[in-house]
Amino acid sequence: MRLRVVSSDGSFFDLFEQMAGKVKQGADELLDLLTNYDDLDRKAGRVVDTEHEGDEITHEIIRRINTTFVTPFDREDIHTLASNLDDVLDHIEAAAEYLQLYRIDAPLPQMTSQANTLALAAAKTYEAMPRLRKMKNLEDYWVEINRLENEGDRSYRRTIAELFSGDYKAMDVLKFKGIIEEIEAGLDRLEDVANTIETISLKHS
């Protein structure tokens, strides 16, 4: 098959905005699952569907890297940004599936709090992504993501310490820890997204 090489256009920015929208959607769906802890199969299934939709966008970004002659910024940075956004959705999906599979009686308040921080960071990322087109007015975004990630780290450490306090059954500790770690990993990847955008922005400043 002959490779069709296309010129650079706004399609990468469109796709990144769509992907950030899927990350926000997935984070909101996970928060809703934890806040309104019912109908787990349907709600977890919705998160899985969102993750699959995100995968399709990621695949399209990778395809365009290979068929676009001139990209708006470095191909490596495009790939890194797409991969980090995709990883966020992977961790959100994993947290939702663990909740579905483990069938815990009720989520810990710390899980909901951590998911709320994740949803806030995802919303900030979605709001900031259109500004990537002009590479301007982004500093407040990555500063805020860093603040939220630090807040999430502190909450994560306190929660893990509490889990190992002896007040929980060993099996529950393993279940709770698995869910909390996925949410925390999603927040870490959102910081990676912000760091990548900072790198891109500084290269083009």
Q: How many Cβ atoms from other residues are within 10 Å of residue 173's Cβ?
A: 17
Whole-number Å distance between alpha carbons of 76 and 192: 14
pLDDT score for 10: 61
In a domain, residue 156? The reply is: yes
In a domain, residue 4? The reply is: no
pLDDT score for 189: 98
pLDDT score for 117: 98
In a domain, residue 15? The reply is: yes
Whole-number Å distance between alpha carbons of 26 and 43: 11
Residue 68, SS3?
A: strand
Domain that holds residue 35: 11-203
Q: Is 129 exposed, middle or buried (0-12, 13-18, 19+ CB in 10 A)?
A: buried
* Degrees, nearest 5: CA angle 113-34-106: 100
Higher pLDDT, 71 or 186: 186
pLDDT score for 1: 37
Q: What is the DSSP letter of 133?
A: G
Share of the chain above pLDDT 70, in %: 95
CATH number at residue 118: 1.20.58.220
Q: What is the DSSP letter of 6?
A: B
Whole-number Å distance between alpha carbons of 71 and 177: 41
pLDDT score for 86: 98
pLDDT score for 9: 52
pLDDT score for 4: 37
Provide the mean pLDDT of the chain. 93
pLDDT digits over 111-166, tens only? 999 999 999 999 999 999 999 999 889 999 999 999 999 999 999 999 999 999 99
pLDDT score for 2: 36
Distance of CA 57 to the CA centre of its chain: 14
In a domain, residue 42? The reply is: yes
**Number of domain units in the chain:** 1
Q: Look at the pTM and tell me if it is higher than 0.85.
A: yes
In a domain, residue 163? The reply is: yes
